[in-house]
Structure 1
Amino acid sequence: MAGLPGPFLCGALLGYLCLSGLAVEVKVSTEPLSTPVGKTAELTCTYSTSVGDSFALEWSFVQPGKPISESHPILYFTNGHLYPTGSKSKRVTLLQNPPTRGVATLKLTDIHPSDTGTYLCQVNNPPDFYTNGLGLINLTVLVPPSNPSCSQNGQTTVGGSTALRCSSSEGAPRPVYNWVRLGSSPTPSPGSMVQDEVSGQLILTNLSLTSSGTYRCVATNQMGSASCELTLSVTEPSQGRVAGALIGVLLGVLLLSVTAFSLIKFQKERGKNPKETYGGSDLREDAVAPGISEHTSRADSSKGLLERPSSASTVTTNKSKLPMVV
């Protein structure tokens, strides 16, 4: 029993402090807040504490996907004065000024798409005990889809395939896309037309002449819709191109055939008539015998090739007239 006074006194002291208001508790709505672009948003923050001279209130902002540690202030209240700050300073204020009666609602005017993110309401009032001095509010700025851009990629001839694409640069929530065909022309068969509402792509396969026409893409979200149109013209393969390609192939084959025939004929002619070759010891018919002057040789050759001597032994040279010594 001797040990009871200690815990009993601590519990009593804690209860006294809580009853005296020596605690900070911030409350905000847990439901996400959404506001159309260009309108005014009111972010309600309530708190309970015994406001004193050290009371301070801060509103801060962090972009989507970033940690709270990267938040930056947009409004202060301290020492009885309000201090808007940052890029939103001209558009933020408090509905309750001074915010010393338990409510500190932030008012943000002329909402921009970049205002989408998390807003932090933080109360600091030392020496009050901190229990839950921070509240988070998620704000989504609603933006209608901007005018989408339509484009086409792929073959536009019969039997080919093509892809129609559609995309909006702005829109929150993210728009969905739906392609429709305009006019009274028959709609392509379901198997040849597949679309993705998220990416905005329409794939057309096994094109036919009846696939030609005007296609409209509609981008839609809860703020509105916008559309663009694209005209698709499916044509048959050009006959002139086919004929030209066929003629080119035939000319190529003919050229190869002529070249091969000429080579074969040249090889055969070369085998029948081989080139004459002369050895160093062979006597050419037009050679000049030793002892015969060049003038005589020219004279003999002028008489024609028909008057050739009957044999080499009949040729008389100067050297043959010399006496032979035995």
Structure 2
Amino acid sequence: MAWLPGCFLCRFLLGWVGWSAPGLAVEVKVPSEPLSAPVGKTAELTCSYSTSVGDNFALEWSFVQPGKPVSMSQPILYFTNGQLYPTGSKAERASLLQNPPTGGVATLKLTDVRPSDAGTYLCHVNNPPDFYTNGLGLINLTVLVPPSRPSCSQSGQTSVGGSAALRCSSSTGAPKPVYNWIRLGASPTPSPGSMVQDEVSGQLILTNLSLASSGTYRCVATNQMGSASCELTLSVTDPSKGRVAGTVIGVLLGVLFLSVAVFCLIRFQKERRKRPKETFGGSDLREDAVAPGVSEQPLESEDSSNGLLERPSSASTVTTKSKLPMVV
């Protein structure tokens, strides 16, 4: 066991020499805070290093998408043997502010920043035979994107006493936008107890709806890059008023039908009265016709006792008329 202290001492001495000897260590420094750049603008990712640059000096910038391990990084550009080689999908937009990057600074310049540029960038310096203490630096880049125009939708039972949910969401936006619902117009805003909104999800819950809840609602999506909005109209119905309206309409239709029937009946009676009376031709037979030579007046006899005329009974008169022949 006596060899252990000696071996440990050797490793300690070698480490102390490596730290103290100039030009033998490679150390990369990058900003500790994440960087951000507006979409369409230029981003500058600073990377500095300390080493004794020699013929074997090499620098590489690479990129890995959010949520993926560093081992899956893809090269953007690298510098070796005095030459700069852009590569990958960002080759046309990537360059170095210092070229050649042999003065201790190797800042990456990325033009026309796009949402797909958001992720982690790796600055890696390799300079054999210098050994590494920290030869790799990581920078997180956020691309700032204004929220896109959100889409508004609603669901639920939009009748008096019911509940409705209004939803609002933007497909793009970085950082993630917050949502705020407001009601347009001069109508009174529903009471706070009946309206609850979530600024993160963009949902507005309306409970115990009344006719006063009807109106136009606007959702505004906002982040540090700007804002966008959408609107929808909420119409609250009252089923009881619908039933009353149906009853009133039924009564009105009944009255209208009855009025039309009465009008038609009165018109029919008037038309009937205006028709001419029926006339008879010379060949028509009538029961009360009188034969020629027979007087229509009943026979009269003089009563010698009282001087009055005596009229035959109606029956005798009718019988006499009925027995006479009709002459045409």
Tell me, yes or no, whether TM beats 0.5.
Answer: yes
Q: CA separation in 2, counterparts of 1:47 and 1:229?
A: 53
**Which residue of 70, 73, 76 maps to 1:71?**
73
Q: Which residue of 2 aligns with 1:111?
A: 113
Q: Which residue of 2 aligns with 1:100?
A: 102
- TM-superposed deviation, 1:68: 1.0
Deviations 1:295-321 (A, max 9, x none): xxxxxxxxxxxxxxxxxxxxxxxxxxx
Assess, with a 3 A threshold, how the Cα gap between structure 1 residues 17 and 165 changes in structure 2: closer, same or farther: closer
After TM superposition, the structure 1 = structure 2 runs for residues 179-198 of structure 1, keeping only pairs within 5 Å, are 179-198=181-200
Assess, with a 3 A threshold, how the Cα gap between structure 1 residues 11 and 197 changes in structure 2: closer, same or farther: closer
Assess, with a 3 A threshold, how the Cα gap between structure 1 residues 129 and 184 changes in structure 2: closer, same or farther: same
Q: Percent identity?
A: 79
Q: CA separation in 1, counterparts of 2:38 and 2:7?
A: 58
* Aligned partner of residue 210 in structure 1, secondary structure: helix
Deviations 1:231-288 (A, max 9, x none): 1111111328988xxxxxxxxxxxxxxxxxxxxxxxxxxxxxxxxxxxxxxxxxxxxx
**Which residue of 34, 37, 47 maps to 2:36?**
34
- TM-superposed deviation, 1:165: 0.5
Q: Which residue of 2 aligns with 1:293?
A: none
Counterpart amino acid of residue 68 in structure 2: K
Counterpart amino acid of residue 75 in structure 1: L
* Aligned partner of residue 110 in structure 1, secondary structure: coil
Q: Which residue of 2 aligns with 1:166?
A: 168
Assess, with a 3 A threshold, how the Cα gap between structure 1 residues 124 and 240 changes in structure 2: closer, same or farther: same
Deviations 1:74-121 (A, max 9, x none): 111111111111111111000001101110000000000111111000
Q: Which residue of 1 aligns with 2:243?
A: 239
Q: CA separation in 1, counterparts of 2:125 and 2:114?
A: 26
Q: Which residue of 1 aligns with 2:256?
A: none
Q: CA separation in 1, counterparts of 2:136 and 2:219?
A: 45
Counterpart amino acid of residue 182 in structure 1: L
Q: Which residue of 1 aligns with 2:203?
A: 201
- TM-superposed deviation, 1:14: 5.4
Which structure 1 segments of 5+ residues have no match? 244-326
Q: CA separation in 2, counterparts of 1:161 and 1:8?
A: 77
Aligned residues, how many? 241
Counterpart amino acid of residue 217 in structure 1: C
Return 11-20 or 105-114, whichever deviates more: 11-20
Q: CA separation in 2, counterparts of 1:183 and 1:11?
A: 77
Q: CA separation in 1, counterparts of 2:200 and 2:7?
A: 65
Q: Which residue of 2 aligns with 1:130?
A: 132
- TM-superposed deviation, 1:20: 3.1
Assess, with a 3 A threshold, how the Cα gap between structure 1 residues 174 and 9 changes in structure 2: closer, same or farther: closer
Which structure 2 segments of 5+ residues have no match? 248-328
Assess, with a 3 A threshold, how the Cα gap between structure 1 residues 10 and 188 changes in structure 2: closer, same or farther: closer
**Which residue of 21, 43, 46 maps to 1:44?**
46
Q: CA separation in 2, counterparts of 1:208 and 1:65?
A: 47
Q: CA separation in 2, counterparts of 1:13 and 1:217?
A: 65
Counterpart amino acid of residue 223 in structure 2: N
Q: CA separation in 1, counterparts of 2:14 and 2:148?
A: 61
- TM-superposed deviation, 1:17: 4.8
In the alignment, structure 1 residue 80 sits paired with structure 2 residue 82: yes
Give the structure-2-normalised TM-score.
Answer: 0.69
Assess, with a 3 A threshold, how the Cα gap between structure 1 residues 22 and 231 changes in structure 2: closer, same or farther: same
- TM-superposed deviation, 1:134: 0.3
- TM-superposed deviation, 1:205: 1.2
**Which residue of 174, 177, 183 maps to 1:175?**
177
Q: CA separation in 2, counterparts of 1:11 and 1:236?
A: 86
* Aligned partner of residue 200 in structure 2, secondary structure: coil
In the alignment, structure 1 residue 153 sits paired with structure 2 residue 138: no
4+ long deviations beyond 6 Å = 3-13, 240-243
Q: Which residue of 1 aligns with 2:61?
A: 59
Aligned residues: CA RMSD:
2.2
